[in-house]
Structure 1
Amino acid sequence: MKIMSTKDAKNAFGMTIDTARTEPVAIEKHGRRVVVAVVEEYDRLKALEDASSGRAKRSTGEDGQQ
């Protein structure tokens, strides 16, 4: 995980985004982590959530189909 200060993340925002596409980037303010930027892991978790939500809707009939 790459660690950056808020100042560095702001000044090199493009690089911060590019790095977050391949590994988590922790952004710290006064030595305390305030944000972790991730892309791949978020996409994976969102897909799992969407799949789980779709199953829950189908099993309870909330998708409007009978």
Structure 2
Amino acid sequence: MQSISARDAKNAFGRLIDMARAEPVAIEKYGRSVVVVLAVEEFERLTAKAKKQVATAASGRRPAHEG
């Protein structure tokens, strides 16, 4: 995961978008990561996976191995 300062993210927002489409980007304030920007496709993949895990846990079944 790449990192970028909040100031650089603000000043080069288009670049941040391009970076986030390739891989998640941590935004740092005062040298500490505070948020992560990621592509909508990755967000949707992660939320779908989380929903599937919740549904599986609620049903009492063990999840199939995902790779």
TM range (shorter): 0.5 to 0.7
1:7-29 Cα shifts (integer Å, max 9, x gaps): 00000001101111110101100
CA RMSD of aligned residues (A): 2.1
1:10 aligns with 2:10: yes
Between Structure 1 and Structure 2, how many residues are aligned?
58
Moved more, 38-47 or 21-30: 38-47
* Pairing of 1:55-66 with structure 2 (within 5 A): none
Larger Rg over CA atoms:
1
Q: Which runs of structure 1 show a deviation greater than 2 angstroms over 4 or more consecutive aligned residues?
A: 46-55
Aligned position for 1:23 = 23
**Distance (whole Å) between structure 2 residues aligned to residue 53 and residue 26 of structure 1:** 27
Q: What is the CA-CA distance between 1:52 and the residue it aligns to?
A: 6.3
Report the AA paired with residue 45 of structure 1.
Answer: L
Identity %: 55
TM-score calculated relative to the size of structure 1: 0.66
Unmatched segments (≥5 aa) in structure 2: 60-67
TM-score calculated relative to the size of structure 2: 0.66
